[in-house]
Amino acid sequence: MLVLGIESSCDECSAAVVEDGKKILSNVIATQIEIHKKYDGVVPEIASRTHTEWVKGVVESAIKESGCTLDDIDGISVTNRPGLIGSLMVGLSYAKGLSASSGIPFVGIDHILAHLYASQLENDIEYPFLGLIVSGGHTVIGKVQDFDNVEVLGTTIDDACGEAYDKVAKHYGLGYPGGVLIDELAQKGDPAAFNFPDASLHKGAHRYDVSYSGLKTAVINQLNQFHNEGYEINNENIAASFQKAAIGMLAKRLFKAASDTGINKVVVGGGVAANSYLRSLLKDKNNLEVYFPSMLLCTDNAAMVAGLGYHYLNREEYSDLTLNAGSRVMQFKNKYP
Ligand SMILES: Nc1ncnc2c1ncn2[C@@H]1O[C@H](COP(=O)(O)OP(=O)(O)OP(=O)(O)O)[C@@H](O)[C@H]1O
Ligand SMILES: [Mg+2]
């Protein structure tokens, strides 16, 4: 079955053709990073307008690059949640229009489940496993029973991990997007230069939960110290110390979840899965079987959307034209905060 995937939840406009949920025939990703760079973050109105201009060309390129024609496509899979509502609406409306005019069925899928699916495009990973989803808007440790069944064990109680990277980078004037830049700087810095704390969680928080708000504030407050005499700002050391705390916090919870559940298989997804320190920490853990997507499949892309959508389309689970876009996660089994 050939599935056309369409992704427009944030600032990447992407389309892909994937065969049987596995074989990537094309994966066109048009990023808006250069457009949003000067604002140090994504401007939603500009993002949706740009998607409107790009989506048709991106979809046509993906079909052309795959070597297929629209007539060969058996189903359309589109991200309809979660994300920026205006951006989501563009991809979803395009998918609906294409489906209505061609008669090809379509399905709306969850972007976070798609991030988790990315590794399945490159490996055959049997369920269940522990999923670690770390992206710009989400941080989740979950027990993954199937492609559409995630039991949330822990999540962030405030900022997402990628969001903390982006905010720290913004305050230090490092540029956008912050994750890659901090990761690069950290490799030249001393992680012991500053002692940033692990999150102390309030009573009632789950034992696998994380929190980035306090860490982010501590790192940003450190900036004020540099205005005092005798201090010299050292971005490499700040980056390395922040990264040690931000990723260390995640790894600690994940290792605890693995030991408590007895599940030693871990699949990582989302933009922060590209992080070099996270990759090395998890790969060094001998008792764990760890899967990371390749770099291109960590951040937003339509191949993961087409891959996941195949499984719904295969069981003839179709959406209809009443489907709406949603800014929140809707599909996890346990209540998502
Ligand atoms: N090497 C890296 N180290 C740390 N963070 C990274 C790295 N590369 C990318 N990121 C972060 O990943 C995030 C982007 O990932 P992604 O595209 O999955 O997020 P999003 O789509 O904006 O959010 P979501 O998927 O939650 O809706 C950004 O916050 C970025 O800073
Ligand atoms: Mg994403």
How close is the Cα of 2 to the center of ligand 1, in Å?
28
| Within a domain: 326 | no
> What's the angle, vertex CA 297, arms to CA 198 and CA 178, rounded to 5?
45
Q: 79, 299, 327, 330: which to mutate for ligand 1, most atoms within 8 A of CB?
A: 299
Mark whether 148 and 266 lie in a shared domain. Answer: yes
Record the pTM. Answer: 0.94
72 and 136 belong to one structural domain: no
- Token representation of residue 247: 């990723």
* Residue of minimum CA distance from atom 17 in ligand 1: 299
- Residue 110's domain spans which residues? 2-117+298-314
CA 28 to chain CA centroid, Å, is 17
State the distance from the centre of ligand 1 to the C-alpha of 272, rounded, in angstroms: 5
**How far is the centre of ligand 2, averaged over its atoms, from the C-alpha of 186 (Å)?**
23
Distance between Cα 8 and ligand 1 center (Å): 15
Report pLDDT digits (tens) over 270-286: 999 999 999 999 998 88
Pick the ligand that lies closest to the CA of residue 88. Answer: 1
What pLDDT does residue 328 have?
78
Residue whose Cα lies nearest atom 1 of ligand 1: it is 275
Task: Kindly state the percentage of the chain with pLDDT values over 70.
Answer: 94
Rounded Cα gap, residues 80 and 94, in angstroms: 11
Domain membership of residue 330 (yes or no) is no
Please check whether residues 66 and 181 belong to one and the same domain: no
Express each pLDDT in 201-224 by its tens digit.
Answer: 666 667 899 999 999 999 998 887
pLDDT of the residue at 336: 39
The pLDDT tens digits of the residues spanning 190-203 come to: 999 999 988 766 66
CA neighbor of 275 nearest in space, from 118, 167, 192, 165:
165
CA 271 to ligand 1 center in whole angstroms: 3
Residue 107: per-residue pLDDT: 98
For the segment 34-71, what is each residue's pLDDT rounded down to a tens digit?
Answer: 999 989 889 999 999 999 999 999 999 999 999 999 99
Measured from the CB, is residue 300 less than 6 Å from ligand 1?
A: yes
Considering only CA atoms, give the Rg of the chain.
20
Residue 304 maps to a domain: yes
**Pair 131, 245 in one domain:** yes
CATH number at residue 7: 3.30.420.40
Two tokens, residue 189: 């810095």
* pLDDT at residue 335, as a whole number: 43
Verify whether ligand 1 is closer than 6 Å to residue 216 (CB atom): no
Same-domain check for residues 199 and 107: no
- The verdict on 138 and 272 lying in the same domain is yes
